[in-house]
Amino acid sequence: MKRLFKRSYLTLVLLFLYIPIVVLIFQSFNAGKSRAKWEGFSLRWYSALFEDQAIMKALYVTLTIAVIAAVAATILGTLAAIGIHAMQKRPQSIMMTMTNLPMTMPDIVTGISLMILFTFSKIERGYVTMLLAHITFNTPYVILSVLPKLKQMNKHTYEAALDLGASPSYALLHVILPEISPGVITGCLLAFTLSLDDFVISYFTTSPMVQNLSTLIYSKARIGIEPTLNALSALMFLALLALLLTVNHRAGKTAKA
């Protein structure tokens, strides 16, 4: 009875999470604009999607910022995690508190504070400011993804590499990074998906002339969601699903090896 209850509960949770996505993908093939009536199978909204210059521009901004921010945050976060891991207990505790603080603050606080910083610094808001904001809020997530792998690693491995004649940079690239690579990859993927999903911080750190998908959808939602956005959401979901399946497959092969 207990096992049946657990399975039923898990099934309900999964249905609650994925039924809206299934409905969205299903509606992206609806020939009509109505979301309440099926008017036949059609690919017209996928065709219209690639012809919509505003959406294509927002998609380009979203993807380029997500990729650059994820790579930059991964580099900064990995180096910061290695530095924090090497600290003594008290300064390490202080740095962990400072790392956790931006993650616990509401996004609106982070967004407004960054907007004030850019305004005070007389930096015109746009693509660059949105990119800097995304790198800022992504970095703590990478740090917290990498630190557990550093704690699992044998602390004498780095010292042994140095004793065998390796330079510090060689030991970092060929000894430490391979050991913590699962955490680095996880942090990079997390940063990428968080950047794709972000709205509040993007809204406060960009201008109306530079929009990502979240700010564009917000502006369009006030006059009604277009069916082309269903097609866009379906493609993004399938792309991220394929990416996650590929990463999990590689992780499984690595674990078996």
Give, in order, the Cα–Cα distances in Å from 127 to each of 94, 123, 202, 227: 33, 11, 10, 27
Give, in order, the Cα–Cα distances in Å from 244 to each of 37, 192, 237: 33, 12, 11
Nearest to 59 by CA among 185, 51, 25, 188: 51
Phi (first) and psi of residue 41, to 5 degrees: -80, 135
Estimate the crossing angle of helix 177-197 against helix 53-85, to 10 degrees: 140
Percent of the chain with pLDDT over 70: 96
Q: Which residue ranges in the chain fall short of pLDDT 70?
A: 247, 250-257
Nearest to 68 by CA among 159, 164, 191, 150: 191
What pLDDT does 41 receive? 84
What pLDDT does 255 receive? 55
What pLDDT does 250 receive? 62
What pLDDT does 49 receive? 86
What pLDDT does 254 receive? 54
What pLDDT does 162 receive? 80
CATH code for the part of the protein at 56-225: 1.10.3720.10
What pLDDT does 63 receive? 92
- Reported pTM: 0.84
Domain coordinates in residue numbering, the chain: 56-225
